[in-house]
Structure 1
Amino acid sequence: MTTHEQIPPFLAEMPEPALASYLSPEIAPKPLPSGLSRVMPWRDELLPSDLREYVRDVAERTQCPPDFIGVALVVAASSVVGRKFTIHPKQHDDWLVVPNQWGVIIGRPSAMKSPALKQALRPLHALESRERKQYGLAEAEHKASSELLEMERNAAKVKAKKLLGSGDKNAALAELNRLSSDMQAPVLRRYIVNDSTVEKLGELLNENPNGLLLVRDELGGWLATIQSEDGSVARAFYLECFDGNGSFTYDRIGRGTIFIESCCLSLIGGIQPSRIASLVRAAISGELDDGLIQRLQLAVYPDDVREWRLVDRWPNKAATERVDWVIEQLDQIPDQPRSALRFSPEAQEIFNAWYTRHMQESRREELHPALQSHFLKMPQTIAGLALLFELIGGGQQVVSAEAATRAIGWSAYLMSHAQRLYGAAINAPLLGARLLLERQQKLPEPFTAREVRQKDWTGLGSQDAVNNALAILVEYDFIVGYEVAGEKGGRPSMRYVWRNT
């Protein structure tokens, strides 16, 4: 290679201070902070013993964070309980909590979110498969019975006609009325919905008043849709479904009025960090501050699994059967009559102590209002988890101290993940800088902020976002920026070059 080829041509246009900085051997890039706060790792003790081995088994075989399976499994179990049981977190108050949970697992595209969801929801898919078979049999029987009823009606018409002809009008009317009622068609018991209009979802909830589980493999599209202006009505409906004990009324031309008595919905899905960051930023800025993001209480954003190893073995059959048995027992609890439990005296003391401490700490002025709002919704989540863990353990009378203690163990764990989630949005410039660092080979040399913006990379969708990310890279000496005079007297432009390392 000749000397001419070794000298980058852009050196000739760099002003002297920028050139000196670029050529200085004493200036080297400094490591970028991760931009993510530390999170508490998953612990087996967060789950009842019947679920732990299954989570460990799936996490090892799929090489994904156990948080993904654990959270999705808890949400799945909560959706099966639905409105069958509720809890009064206070002894002398009518505050009522339904244990349905909203969760999201956050990770890179290759973090194995989809396999984790598939394995965690496997017991529910088995229930759905069983119900479809039973529905098929019931539908066939209903069709045959309806045809038989039609034959009986035809015969009744002939008989009624004879009675009318003989002058006995009352007897003819009684004969027709005897078979006037239609046979009630069978209803398919549903557990999971994936993609539904809110109107159809309302109808499904009327057919399944115990509640449903909304599953979206990629939750980003759903969140973006209901956060848009066109999704305002849908957003209001979903917000109502979070508490699990509300109702909703649609008034539509064509469909008429639809009253949804039971708005009970659990939610689980996966999303990439960059996709959810923009939605969290909207909540932080107040642009979309209706509490939707804060309702994702079981949001987990664990560290990536960096060490991969080949695991090729059969699933743990005993662990799988144990989880199936737990979900089956929850499913067998009758929908009616519904029961409302309270904490045992010991459990109430434990919950009250945590509740008081948590609410006081969550109202600290140094907390960002969006994160504060997230924390202030957590008592409802913890009370619901305590009830759920009690039911998983077989209890149906009071919520024990053991179940309450286990649920409270989730608070510090979930708060650490919430801090990472909101912190990632607040530290968006740093995350944008890291993305540019990873993709520097896809940019020309030198490059401009406009050329970065044209790439339309996630998190760098505005000029301000690009400029903020570039400022971070300049601050940490990864790039050198310099101005070049505009052509024909135009405005000068800022160009950037990567510092040699």
Structure 2
Amino acid sequence: MRRVIKKLMSISTSQAVEQTSSKSHPSDNSERNTEEQIQVVKNHRQQMHVGASLNWEKPKALQDELPTVPEFQPELLPNVMSEVVMSEARRMDNAPADYVAVSNLVCLASIIGNTVGIKPKRNDSGWIVYPTLWGMIVGSPSMKKTPTMEIAMKFLSRCQTAYLDPLNREKAEQAEIHNKVTEQTKEDLQKKAKQAFNEGDIELADKLAREISQLEVKSGSPRSLIINDATIEAIIIRLVDNPNGILFFRDELSGWFAELKKKGREHERAIYLQAFNASKTPYIVERVGRENITVPSLTLSILGGIQPEKLKGLLAEKRSGDGDDGLSERFQLIVYPDSNQCCYVDESPNEEAISALYAVFLKLVTLAEKDSTICEFDEEAQIVWNNWSTKHSESLKHESSEWQAARGKHPALLAKLALIFHLVEEAEKCEGTAFSFSKVVRKHHLERGMDWMSYLELHLQKVMMLGTQEIAQNTAHALLKNLSKLKGAFTKQQLAQKGWRGLKTPEEREKAISTLVACGYIREVAKPNKHFVIHPDFC
């Protein structure tokens, strides 16, 4: 036992001598390390002092909170539209007016189609925008998505019944008579051409052959405004007789997105993508064993609803790279109002306002019977457009790739909205039976469109946060449970060195920090260096 004690005392003495020697003969490295440690302690004490001096409030619970969006304002629409939108939304037990407004805009865009376009730039005649719109309304099943969309759909149905169906019957009868005469004329010419050929008059035979080739058969196929649950092949066939475009309506868009992922239907996405552009270039479909189909113009507007959880899954797929082809970004009129504000309302429909808006629809539906028209901005509106476009282009340079993909199409959307507002006002003012309109779009229509851009961006922010919500919450919880290990304060560099699960990438750490700052768990402090101070209750 004594030998063991002596040995321990000997070891302790030796260590003490070594430590004394080390202190009496410090190396340059040890001095530098000591100074750095002292500075770290000083900085930490200063950070702790700053944190203690802050006025802290109780942090908010980490929960799935999305940013709020303002209530829809009637000033966003021309009066003839806003009266119907606000009164019908209220009559639907105070349903979101956003739903009714977006549905009406998409329906108006579908009947204008590619009959009227706008040239946003004064000198660039190659860029023509036609007002096709894709609208998506987001909300829970109890928020009356379907009834509010049907308010706008009824205007199309009335136009179909009151105007197009009689016109279709008349055209079908005319086509039948015309085709009978054409067929008889063709037979007569063929006989004459054969006789001329037999007699050796080749010149006359060729002339008659050219006349035969110029004979046209009229189509008696009816024009229609709406198509519902249909395959892409059925839509293409419908578009052959509706070159000005139609509305594809799906009550639940989640089912449509699911269909596009089925095996053997991958090619459909590309067709829908092109249909959004309302190109005047003919679209030719060739299939082995089937007759070729030529669509004069592939033009399609889309309207539908979706539940937040279904949309969240679609956004997650897009982030993973699946379906990241620009299809979802084409739903530019996407609205996600705040929680349900429904309450029992018993009011009569505003028949006068409904009749006035129906008259606008009825005038616009006649545009397909006329030649295509191109509008321009007036001088004052052109200056506003140029200034807005310049600022918009500059702002895109500083956006993330996700925001660039979404906001990159906003100039075309703004031009479309300005054109629609212009045509609505022109139709409202037109008192005659024949609809004629000015080809000059004025400033107040463009400014109303700019208000819509601000309004839609707030909803887009909410939708994008819905897509990253789960990731943000997971990273925030990962940082929250480790706050006590950070000794009251930390820098981004210090956090990166920890390598904690859920906080390994810069993106994860940024999401976690921003979430905890927003909820009051940490605060950003600039002095003595940029760092984050932790709430005293979580140190």
The alpha-carbon deviation at position 283 of structure 1 amounts to: 1.7
Matched, 1:297 2:327: no
Matched, 1:424 2:466: yes
- Distance 1:86-1:431 versus aligned 2 partners, 3 A rule: farther
Partner deviation per Cα, 1:15-48 (whole Å, 9 max, x = no partner): xxxxxxxxxxxxxx97453432222321111111
Identity %: 31
Structure 1, unpaired ranges of 5+: 1-28, 158-177, 433-463, 465-501
Partner deviation per Cα, 1:319-360 (whole Å, 9 max, x = no partner): 100110111121123544212122111111111222222232
Aligned residue for 2:117, secondary structure, equals strand
Match of 2:164? 131
Aligned residue for 2:419, secondary structure, equals helix
- Distance 1:250-1:154 versus aligned 2 partners, 3 A rule: closer
CA separation in 2, counterparts of 1:83 and 1:398? Answer: 17
Q: Return the letter of the residue paired with 2:254.
A: G
- CA-based RMSD of the aligned residues comes to 3.7
- Distance 1:398-1:179 versus aligned 2 partners, 3 A rule: closer
Aligned residue for 1:262, secondary structure, equals coil
Aligned counterpart in structure 2 of residue 283 of structure 1, from 318, 322, 325: 318
Match of 1:475? none
Partner deviation per Cα, 1:418-440 (whole Å, 9 max, x = no partner): 111111011136899xxxxxxxx
1:15-414 equivalent positions in 2, closer than 5 A:
31-63=61-93, 64-93=95-124, 94-129=126-161, 130-136=163-169, 139=172, 184-245=218-279, 247=281, 248-311=283-346, 313-365=347-399, 368-394=400-426, 395-414=437-456
Is the 2:236–2:295 contact (alpha carbons within 8 Å) kept by the matching residues of 1?
yes
Partner deviation per Cα, 1:53-75 (whole Å, 9 max, x = no partner): 00011101113100000001011
CA separation in 1, counterparts of 2:310 and 2:222? Answer: 35
CA separation in 2, counterparts of 1:379 and 1:150? Answer: 50
CA separation in 1, counterparts of 2:88 and 2:73? Answer: 15
- Distance 1:431-1:252 versus aligned 2 partners, 3 A rule: farther
Q: Return the letter of the residue paired with 1:428.
A: E
The alpha-carbon deviation at position 95 of structure 1 amounts to: 1.6
CA separation in 1, counterparts of 2:217 and 2:295? Answer: 23
- Distance 1:190-1:60 versus aligned 2 partners, 3 A rule: same
CA separation in 2, counterparts of 1:146 and 1:342? Answer: 40
Partner deviation per Cα, 1:101-121 (whole Å, 9 max, x = no partner): 111111101110110011111
CA separation in 2, counterparts of 1:99 and 1:359? Answer: 21
Is the 2:64–2:469 contact (alpha carbons within 8 Å) kept by the matching residues of 1?
no
1:423-442 equivalent positions in 2, closer than 5 A:
423-428=465-470
Q: Which moved more, 1:335-344 or 1:374-383?
A: 335-344
CA separation in 1, counterparts of 2:411 and 2:159? Answer: 31
Is the 1:83–1:335 contact (alpha carbons within 8 Å) kept by the matching residues of 2?
no
Is the 1:102–1:296 contact (alpha carbons within 8 Å) kept by the matching residues of 2?
yes
Match of 2:508? none
Partner deviation per Cα, 1:366-390 (whole Å, 9 max, x = no partner): xx42232101111110111111111
1:443-454 equivalent positions in 2, closer than 5 A:
none
The alpha-carbon deviation at position 81 of structure 1 amounts to: 0.9
CA separation in 2, counterparts of 1:404 and 1:44? Answer: 16
- Distance 1:298-1:252 versus aligned 2 partners, 3 A rule: same
Is the 2:103–2:135 contact (alpha carbons within 8 Å) kept by the matching residues of 1?
yes
- Number of residue pairs matched? 401
What TM-score do the two structures reach when normalised by structure 1? 0.71
What TM-score do the two structures reach when normalised by structure 2? 0.66
Partner deviation per Cα, 1:257-315 (whole Å, 9 max, x = no partner): 2222201111111111111111122222222210011110000111133351232x321
Is the 1:240–1:246 contact (alpha carbons within 8 Å) kept by the matching residues of 2?
no
Aligned residue for 2:218, secondary structure, equals coil
Aligned residue for 1:256, secondary structure, equals coil
CA separation in 2, counterparts of 1:342 and 1:389? Answer: 13
Is the 2:159–2:361 contact (alpha carbons within 8 Å) kept by the matching residues of 1?
no
Is the 1:371–1:419 contact (alpha carbons within 8 Å) kept by the matching residues of 2?
no
Is the 2:176–2:220 contact (alpha carbons within 8 Å) kept by the matching residues of 1?
no
- Distance 1:183-1:203 versus aligned 2 partners, 3 A rule: same
The alpha-carbon deviation at position 250 of structure 1 amounts to: 1.6
Structure 2, unpaired ranges of 5+: 1-58, 191-210, 427-436, 475-501, 503-539
- Distance 1:208-1:154 versus aligned 2 partners, 3 A rule: closer
CA separation in 2, counterparts of 1:272 and 1:220? Answer: 8
Partner deviation per Cα, 1:232-253 (whole Å, 9 max, x = no partner): 2110000001111254322112
CA separation in 2, counterparts of 1:388 and 1:127? Answer: 18
CA separation in 1, counterparts of 2:182 and 2:101? Answer: 50
CA separation in 2, counterparts of 1:349 and 1:145? Answer: 51
